[in-house]
A and B are shown apart, each in its own frame.
Chain A
Amino acid sequence: MRYSAFSIVKNALTGNVNWKPAWRQPEPKPFYDIIIVGGGGHGLATAYYLAKEFGLKNIAVLEKGYLGSGNVGRNTTIVRSNYMLPGNEPFYEFSMKLWEGMEQDLNYNAMLSQRGIINLYHNDGQRDAYIRRGNAMWMEGVPAELLDRAALKKMLPFLNFDHARFPIMGGLLQKRGGTARHDAVAWGYARAADRLGVYLLQNCEVTGIRRENGVVTGVETSRGFIGCSKLGLAAAGNTSRVGQMADLKLPIESHVLQAFVTEGLKPAIDHVITYGAGHFYISQSDKGGLVFGAEIDGYNSYAQRGNLATVEHVMEEGVTMIPGLSRVRVLRSWGGVMDMSMDGSPIISHTPIDNLYLNCGWCYGGFKATPASGWCFAHLIAKNESHPVARFLRLDRFERGYPIDEHGAGPQPNLH
Chain B
Amino acid sequence: MTAYRLSAGGLVDRTNRMDFKFDGRTMSGLSGDTLASALLANDQLLVGRSFKYHRPRGIVTAGPSEPNALVTIGQGSRSDPNTKATVAELYAGLDARSQNRWPSLKHDVGALNNLLSPFLSAGFYYKTFMWPAAFWEKVYEPIIRRAAGLGRAVLERDPETYEKVWAHCDLLVVGAGPTGLMAARTAGRAGLRVILADEDFRPGGSLLSETVEIDGMPAPAFAETLLAELRSLPNVTIMPRTTVFGWYDDNVFGAVERVQKHVAQPQAKLPVERLWRIVAKRALLATGAEERPLVFGGNDRPGVMMASAVSTYANRFGVASGKSVAIFTNGGTGYRTAADLAAQGIEIAVIIDSRADADDVAPTGTRVIRSGSVTDTKGKHRVSGIVVERSGFEDTIACDAVAMSGGWNPVIHLACQRGAKAVWSPELNSFLAPDVGNGLAVAGAAAGIYSLAACLSDGAGKAAAIIADLGFSAVSDVLPSVSGEIDPSFTALWYAPGAKAKAFVDFQNDVHVKDLGLALREGFGHVEHAKRYTTNGMATDQGKLSGINATGLLAAMQGISPADVGTTTFRPFYTPVAFGALAGTSRDEHAAPVRKSPLYNWAQKNGAVFVDSGLWYRPAWFARDGERTWRQSTDREVLNVRQNVGICDVSTLGKIEIFGRDAAEFLNRLYCNAFLKLPVGKARYGLMLREDGMVYDDGTTSRLSSEHFFMTTTTALAGGVMSHMEYCAQVLWPDLKVRFCSSTDQWAQMAIAGPKARHVVQALVEDDVSDAAFPFLAAQAVTLKGGLKGRLFRISFSGELAYELAVPAWFGEAVADAAMEEGRAHGICAYGLEALNVLRLEKGHVTHAEFDGRVTPDDAGFGRMVSAQKSDFIGKRLSTRYGLTAADRMQMVGLKPVEADKTFRAGAHLLREGAKPSTLNDQGYVSSAGFSPTLGHDIALAFLKSGRERYGERVVVWDKLGGTETVAEVCHPVFVDPGNAKLNS
Contact = CB atoms under 8 A, between A and B. Distances in A.
- In the complex they form, whether A and B have CB atoms below 8 Å apart is answered with yes
Interface of A: 3-5, 7-9, 11-13, 15-17, 19-23, 25, 66-69, 73, 86, 89-90, 103-104, 107-114, 122-123, 125, 127-136, 138-141, 144-146, 158, 160, 163-167, 181, 183-184, 187-188, 202, 262-269, 277, 284-289, 303-305, 307-308, 311-312, 315-320, 322-334, 397, 399-403, 405, 407-411
Interface in B374-401: none
Given A128-B849, A135-B909, A164 B881 contact: no
A103 B583 CA distance: 39
B774 interface: no
A386 to B, nearest CB: 16
A70 to B, nearest CB: 11
A130 B150 contact: no
A34 B609 CA distance: 64
Interface stretch (B28-36, B156-164, B306-314): B156-164
A67 B591 CA distance: 41
B962 interface: yes
B962 A146 contact: yes
Contacts of A108: 126-127, 130
A348 B77 CA distance: 49
A312 B275 CA distance: 10
Contacts of B542: 331-332
Interface stretch (B447-455, B465-473, B527-535): B527-535
Interface string B244-263: 00101100101000000000
A401 B883 contact: yes
A164 B526 CA distance: 46
22 contacts: A20-B522, A69-B528, A90-B919, A109-B136, A123-B613, A129-B852, A158-B155, A264-B51, A265-B82, A265-B150, A267-B145, A268-B152, A308-B254, A311-B582, A312-B275, A322-B155, A325-B155, A331-B573, A401-B882, A401-B884, A410-B690, A411-B692
A184 B119 CA distance: 19
A19 B591 contact: no
Given A107-B130, A262-B576, 6 more contacts: A3-B128, A86-B919, A165-B588, A320-B587, A323-B158, A401-B878
Contacts of A320: 583, 586-588, 591
Contacts of B737: none
B612 A166 contact: yes
B692 A264 contact: no
B155 A268 contact: yes
B648 to A, nearest CB: 17
Contacts of A7: 127
Contacts of A4: 131
Interface string B337-357: 000000000000000000000
Interface string B906-929: 111100000001111110011110
The list of the 5 closest CB pairs from A to B, nearest first, reads: A408-B853, A131-B907, A288-B149, A401-B883, A401-B881
Given A305-B417, A331-B542, A409 B919 contact: no
Interface in B171-217: none
Contacts of B692: 403, 410-411
Which of B118, B149, B881 has the largest number of chain A CB atoms within 10 A? B149
A123 B586 CA distance: 21
Contacts of A12: 118-119, 121
A37 B694 CA distance: 35
A130 B907 contact: yes
Residue with the greatest number of chain B CB neighbours at <10 A, chosen from A23, A132, A334, A399: A132
A411 B691 contact: yes
A11 B966 CA distance: 62
Interface string B951-977: 000000011111000000000000000
A312 B584 contact: yes
Contacts of A131: 905-908, 959, 961-962
Nearest to A410: B690
B811 interface: no
Contact of B919 (A3, A112, A140): A140
B539 interface: yes
B81 interface: yes
A308 B907 contact: no
Given A131-B907, A132-B906, A319-B579, A265 B591 contact: no
A265 B848 contact: no
Q: Which of the listed residues A144, A160, A262 has the most CB atoms from chain B within 10 Å of its own CB?
A: A262
B264 interface: no
Contact of A5 (B131, B136, B149): B131
Nearest to B157: A323
Given A129-B907, A135-B909, A305-B571, A328 B153 contact: yes
B126 A188 contact: yes
B579 A328 contact: yes
B580 interface: yes
Interface string B549-592: 00000000000000000000101110011111011101111111
B580 A319 contact: yes
Contacts of B576: 262-263, 329-331
Contact of A23 (B153, B523, B535, B613): B523
B902 interface: no
Nearest to B117: A12
Interface in B72-105: 77-82
B612 A123 contact: yes
Given A3-B128, A146-B961, A73 B532 contact: yes
A66 B693 CA distance: 43
Contacts of B960: 134-135, 138-139
Contacts of B529: 66-68
A166 B591 contact: yes
A173 B917 CA distance: 20
B418 interface: yes
B158 A327 contact: yes
B571 A333 contact: yes
Contacts of A333: 571-573
A45 to B, nearest CB: 16
A294 to B, nearest CB: 12
Given A131-B962, A188-B126, A316-B584, A136 B908 contact: no
A316 to B, nearest CB: 4
Contacts of B958: 135, 139
B584 A264 contact: no
B567 to A, nearest CB: 14
Contacts of B961: 131, 134-135, 138, 144-146
A103 to B, nearest CB: 5
B480 interface: no
Nearest to A313: B586
Nearest to A7: B127
A77 to B, nearest CB: 13
B803 to A, nearest CB: 27
A282 B979 CA distance: 53
A112 B136 contact: yes
Contacts of B51: 264
Contacts of A164: 588-589, 591
A326 B580 contact: yes
Interface in B834-867: 848-849, 852-854
B107 interface: no
Contact of B591 (A125, A144, A165): A165
Contacts of A5: 128, 131
Contact of A332 (B152, B571, B922): B571
Given A125-B849, A135-B909, A399-B881, A16 B518 contact: yes
Contact of B152 (A265, A269, A410): A265
Contact of B882 (A263, A312, A325, A400): A400
Contact of B583 (A163, A266, A305, A319): A319
A264 B150 contact: yes
Contact of B82 (A110, A167, A329): A329
B732 to A, nearest CB: 15
Nearest to A66: B526
Residue with the highest number of chain B CB atoms closer than 10 Å, among A12, A22, A89, A141: A22
